[in-house]
Structure 1
């Protein structure tokens, strides 16, 4: 595998209340989540398609066998400024676990909580 290929192609963030989660993520990241067809046993709202651009594809998923968690994998979202998305998250029912902090030459991170009980990361270079 080439050093320039990012192997991450898909992620899922599990939710209990799809409408509440949809509202939170669309407001915090200023995007539209697209409903996807499933077999009917679970619900999926996909983040904007990133297959031909930077970033991994992913979705909010309401599934009877998966639960939101603070202890699971931490997905980091691109941000122009972590402090801005952190503030928007707080205004929309989220939590702040780690305020914007420097990670040296790799920029800044913050860790927020969504409305479903998940911790998610924010990453920015400003």
Structure 2
């Protein structure tokens, strides 16, 4: 049911570098009249949603409040190995949800947002 998400940032350049490094993607930044958007690349499958990094005065990063966004992964261990080197902090390592469901992990990004990962492996 999720269609779009926005991750608050205080430094677009730093956040862009962090997410490009961790997820090996290219993020296009656009200035929309003082509101900076860093567009995540869309996935072609209809069941996938996409979103953006957003820098604006009313968007405030948080390590504890708000919605927790889960990024899909082939194996969360791959991103967990990169996150500290890219400027983030792993706060919950790879944890099995159940044998049928898969695994999750939680990290704090370069901007102070709590973000999660999910993989079947």
SS at structure 2 position matched to 1:20: helix
- Write out aligned runs for 1:59-70 (5 A): 59-70=52-63
Q: For 2:113, which of 102, 113, 118 is the aligned residue?
A: 118
Offset of residue 43 of structure 1? 0.2
Give the TM-score normalised by the residue count of structure 2: 0.92
- Aligned Cα root-mean-square deviation (Å): 1.3
Q: What is the aligned partner in structure 2 of residue 3 from structure 1?
A: none
Moved over 6 A (4+): none
Q: Is residue 24 of structure 2 the alignment partner of residue 30 of structure 1?
A: yes
Q: For 1:16, which of 10, 13, 18 is the aligned residue?
A: 10
Question: Which has the larger share of strand?
Answer: 2
CA contact (8 A) 1:51 1:57 kept: no
Offset of residue 72 of structure 1? 1.6
Residue segments in structure 2 that go unaligned for 5+ positions in a row: none
Q: Is residue 43 of structure 2 the alignment partner of residue 55 of structure 1?
A: no
Offset of residue 41 of structure 1? 2.5
Residue segments in structure 1 that go unaligned for 5+ positions in a row: 1-6
Supply the distance in 2 between the matched residues of 1:89 and 1:21 (Cα, whole angstroms).
Answer: 12
Q: How many residues are paired up?
A: 119
Q: Is residue 78 of structure 2 the alignment partner of residue 84 of structure 1?
A: yes
